[in-house]
Copies of this chain bind each other. A is one copy, B any other.
């Protein structure tokens, strides 16, 4: 990653094509982009486009600044260096909260030594809602591992877990009813321990490798 740039620009069809075109014309490769419409504050109604570029980036900022629909161009550190890898926790409220306690405390210990690990959670109930959220993890930037925290999960959720594993994201499940524990990479009884394991898998400063305990139960 050579450059991380944020552009505040007009919300109009073709805007992303034009901004991406400026980068491509200079030979830059966009390795990450996130763009959304601002719903509040000073730039309400405008688009915020955040771009990380690999390869040549000379002249890109100047080219962007000279565009008519561009209002502001700022330079930043990449998200990877600010928020780092993400541990995702999905499931019932009380259990999600306890997994988060374990994961946040473990991430704190690694972040103190210079790592960057985030813990992102959503409390959800119901097969459909959870299955959709599990599937969507594969579309989240920097998502590295998923913890499913509940008392009963199966059916469509189990299918979504298998697909997530196919795209390289391991899944830890609490010890629970339903078919999810049968396909999970790791089954953990205590929610705090589950959160700790998840962060240890992500952390570069930990020696834990989930593949070496695959299919086991703790």
Residues of A within 8 A of B (CB): 6, 11-17, 20-21, 23-24, 27-44, 48, 50, 55, 76-77, 79, 82-84, 92-94, 96-98, 100-101, 104-105, 107-109, 111-112, 116-125, 132-133, 135-136, 138-139, 141-142, 166-169
> Which secondary structure dominates where chain A touches chain B?
mixed
User: Smallest Cβ distance from A113 to chain B, in angstroms?
Assistant: 11
Name the residue among A24, A36, A111, A168 with the largest chain B CB count within 10 angstroms.
A36
Q: Is the CB of A104 within 8 A of B76?
A: no
Complex interface: chain B residues within 8 A of A121 (CB): 100, 104, 118-121
Name which residue of chain B comes closest to A53, CB basis. B13
Complex interface: chain B residues within 8 A of A92 (CB): 108
User: Smallest Cβ distance from A102 to chain B, in angstroms?
Assistant: 8
Taken together as a complex, chains A and B put the C-alpha atoms of A103 and B77 apart, in Å, by 28
Name the residue among A12, A42, A107, A135 with the largest chain B CB count within 10 angstroms.
A107
Q: Is the CB of A100 within 8 A of B94?
A: no
Name which residue of chain B comes closest to A34, CB basis. B34
Pick from B76, B112, B119: contact of A100, CB below 8 A. B119
Q: Is the CB of B83 within 8 A of A122?
A: yes
Pick from B20, B41, B118: contact of A169, CB below 8 A. B41
Q: Is the CB of A139 within 8 A of B108?
A: no
Complex interface: chain B residues within 8 A of A50 (CB): 139
Taken together as a complex, chains A and B put the C-alpha atoms of A133 and B83 apart, in Å, by 7
Q: Is the CB of B41 within 8 A of A31?
A: no
Complex interface: chain B residues within 8 A of A14 (CB): 20-21, 24
Q: Please, could you name 21 A-B residue pairs with CB atoms under 8 Å apart, sorted by A?
A: A13-B30, A14-B24, A34-B34, A40-B169, A42-B166, A42-B168, A44-B168, A48-B138, A50-B139, A76-B139, A77-B132, A77-B136, A82-B133, A83-B133, A93-B105, A104-B123, A116-B122, A118-B121, A119-B120, A119-B122, A121-B121
Q: Is the CB of B13 within 8 A of A17?
A: no
